[in-house]
Structure 1
Amino acid sequence: MSNEQIATAFPVEDHSAAVNGIDLHYRVAGDGPVLFLVPPGWGVGSHYLQRGFISLAERHKLIFVDTRASGRSSRPADPSQMRSIDMADDLEALRIHLGFSKVSVLGHSNSGAIALSYAERFPEHLDKLIVSGSQVLGLSASADTQRILQERATDPRFEAAVQAVSAFFGGQASPPKDDEALGAFIARVLPLYLYQPEKTLSLLQQQLAGPISSYAFNAQFAADAADRTDLTQALNQIAAKTLILVGRHDFICPVALSEHLHKRIPPSQLAIFEESGHFPWLEEPEKFFATLNDFLRRPA
C-alpha cells in the first residue's frame, strides 16, 4: 500500500489529554502493538512523522504525539518546564491516560533524546525503543559537525545553508524572534539535512510543511541548557530492545553519537544508511523501512 492508500484505510483520530499541567494533543491511526512516534521538542510538531511513517499503521496502533508547546499541544505555565525530560514525563502520563501497560517509542533527532530519557526513567513500561539520527544530551559530536560543515562549505548545494548554520552556532545570528523568522531559518538550512538535496529536498519540504513554534524552539533550548541533563550515565541500564538508525552524512547528529549509543546500550542494533543525511526514510526508504519493520516484527 502507498502512504495515501494507508491514510485512507486508517483514518486518523485527534485527541487531547490533560497531563502535567498541559493539554497534550495526540493523533491515533491503525491497530496492533502500540507505538508512540515523538517529534523533536523544538516546535516542529508531529505532522512530518504522520506523513513519513503512516505506513506502519498496517500493523501497529500509531500514537503521534505533539510535544508540549508544539503542534496543537499547549505551553506549560513555566518555560523552565520545557526540558526534554519533561517531554519524556508527558509520554509516561499519556501511557497512563490511555491505559497501556507497555508502549514502544520512536524518536527522531532531539526526540531521540526524549525517547532515551523515557527508556531510562520508565523501563518497566517500554517494549521497544527506536531512535533515528538521535541527539544524546550530555554528549557532543561538534567536531564531526564542524568537519561536515567545512567539507560542504564550497559545495553550491550547501553553501548558503552552511553560512546560515555557522552564523547561528557561532552566535553571529540572533535566535528566531517569531514563528515566521524560525520558518525562514529552517528553509535556509534544510539542504544540509540531506545527503543529496537535489533529489529529496522538495519531498522534505512537503513533509515539514505546517505550523512551527519559535516559543518551543527558544524555550526548550534554554531549559535543556540550564538543566544540563546527561543521558550518558544510565545508557547501559536500558533493557528494552533498541534499534539505532542514522544516516552516514548526518551533520547535526553525526554517526559518532549513534555508535556511542550502540556501544552503551547492550540490547541494541545499529543501522547506518550510507546515502542519507538526517532523514534516511526519505533518502533510502526501502532499506530504512525494511530494517525498521524487521525490528518491529521481532518478539520483545
Structure 2
Amino acid sequence: MPSRTYTEQINGARLVVEVLGPDDAPAMVVHHGAPGLGSRAEPVRSFGPFADSFRIVTFDARGSGASSETAPFTHEQWVADIEALRERFDLGQIVIAGGSYGGFLAMEYTLAHQDQVAALVLRDTAANTDFDYLAVERARATDRVQIEEWVIERIGTGNFTSNEEFERYWRGILPLYDYSYDPAATERKAGSTSYHYATHNAAFGQNMPTYNLVPRLREISVPTLVTVGRHDWRTPVAASQVIADGVDGAELVVFEQSGHSPQLEEPELFQSTVRDFLRRAGIGPS
C-alpha cells in the first residue's frame, strides 16, 4: 500500500503527516529526532517495512522539515501535538517510537498519556543530560575528521544565529554519527536537510537544561524496548542502560555494528528485534 501524505492544522501549526500501511492495522506513531534538522524522512525509511502489518504514522514536528515554524518549541507542545494527531487520525491505543530527541518525546508522551500507549520503542536516546559531556570529548578525540573548535563548543548548546551557521555546524559533526564513515553519504544527508535554527535553539538552549526523566522512569508501565548502537557518539550505551534500569521490565538491545542509527546501519536485525518485541507484547501479528 503506498504512503498517504496529509497537511493538517494541529494546535495552531501546519503539520505534514505521512501514513503507511492498512488503516485497520495496529497504529505505530514514529517521532523523528533532531528538532530543526530531522524530518519524517528517516522514520519513513526506518519503519516503512513495518507497514506490512502496522499503520505507521509519522510527521514533521512543528519547526522541522516541511511543517510550519510555529512556536512554542517545547516538550509540552510537541507532546500535545502527538496526542492531537492520535485523535485526528482516530488511532486508538498506539505504539509510540522515537529515536534520539524523538525518544525524549516518546517517553514524555508515554508519561503524559500512558493509557493511550500499548508499547514504547526507543532508539539511541537518553532520560537526562548526564552523558552529554562524552559527546564533546569524543568530538575532540576523533581521528575520523578534523572538527573545528567552534563546532565542538556548540554541541548541545542551541546557540545559533542563522540557518547558514547552523548548516556549517551540522556538516562539521555529521561524520561522527555513523559506524562506518562515508563522506559521500554524509554530504547527501547534509544537502537534503531542512535547517531551522530557531527550533534547534529552543530545543537545546531552553528545553534540555532542565530535562531529566530519570526520577519518573518507574512510572512507565507499558512494554518498553530500548535499542542503541554500540558506537553511538551522541547518546552512549550507558544512557540507554539508565532507561532500561529505570523502567520496570524494559529490554535493552545493543547493536554492535552501529553508531547513532542502528535502524539504518543494521536494518534487518533492528526490524527483527522490534517485531519480536511487539509480538511478545501481544501487538501485531503473532
**TM-score normalized by the length of structure 1:** 0.84
Aligned partner of 2:166 in structure 1 is 182
What is the identity, as a one-letter code, of the residue corresponding to 2:163?
D
Partner of 2:205: 222
> Which secondary structure state, in structure 2, belongs to the residue aligned with residue 25 of structure 1?
strand
Per the TM alignment, residue 128 of structure 1 is displaced from its structure 2 partner at its CA by: 1.1
Deviation at 1:162, TM superposition (A): 7.0
1:162 and 1:192 in contact (8 A); partners too: no
> In structure 1, which of residues 283, 286, 290 is the aligned counterpart of residue 265 of structure 2?
283
Residue 168 of structure 1 aligns to which amino acid in structure 2? Answer: R
Letter in 1 for 2:237: V
Equivalent of 2:132 in 139, 142, 148: 142
Residues 74-223 of structure 1 aligned to structure 2 (within 5 Å) = 74-76=68-70, 79=71, 81-136=72-127, 138-152=128-142, 155=143, 157=144, 159-161=145-147, 163=149, 165-169=151-155, 175-198=159-182, 202-203=184-185, 206=188, 209-223=192-206
Q: Note the residue ranges of structure 2 that are not aligned, 5 or more in a row.
A: none
How far apart in 2 are the matches of 1:165 and 1:94?
A: 36
2:230·2:259 contact (CA, 8 Å) conserved in 1? yes
Aligned counterpart in structure 2 of residue 231 of structure 1, from 193, 204, 213: 213
C-alpha displacement of 1:69: 1.3
Structure 1 residue 164 displacement after superposition: 5.6
Counterpart of 1:57 in structure 2 is 51
Aligned CA distance change for structure 1 residues 55 and 202 (closer, same or farther; 3 Å):
farther
Q: Specify whether residues 197 and 41 from structure 1 end up closer, same or farther in structure 2 by C-alpha distance, changes over 3 A only.
A: closer
In the alignment of these two chains, the number of paired residues is: 278
- Are the aligned partners of 2:21 and 2:52 in contact in 1 as well (CA < 8 Å)? yes
Q: 1:51 to 1:101 in 2, by over 3 A?
A: closer
Q: Deviations over 1:198-226 (max 9, x none)?
A: 4xx54465466242322211222233047
2: CA distance, partners of 1:83 / 1:170? 16
Q: 1:250, 1:278 within 8 Å by CA — same for their partners in 2?
A: yes
- 1:225 and 1:282 map into 2 onto residues whose CA distance is 26
Match of 1:4 in 2: none
Q: How far is the alpha carbon of 1:237 from its aligned partner?
A: 0.9
Instruction: Give the equivalent residue in structure 2 for 1:5.
Output: none
Change beyond 3 A, Cα 1:206–1:50? farther
User: Once the two structures are superposed, what CA deviation does each residue of 1:30-56 show, in whole Å capped at 9, x if it has no partner?
Assistant: 122111111125112211222233211
Q: Deviations over 1:121-164 (max 9, x none)?
A: 1000001111100132x341134334534542xx1x2x324746
SS of alignment partner, residue 160 of structure 1 = coil
| Residues 157-178 of structure 1: CA deviation (Å, up to 9, x unaligned) | 2x3247464232498xx93433
**Cα gap change, 1:279 to 1:205, in 2 (>3 Å):** farther
Residue in structure 2 matching 1:39, options 21, 25, 32: 32
Q: Which has the higher helix share?
A: 1
SS in structure 2 at match of 1:187: helix
Identical aligned pairs, as a percentage? Answer: 27
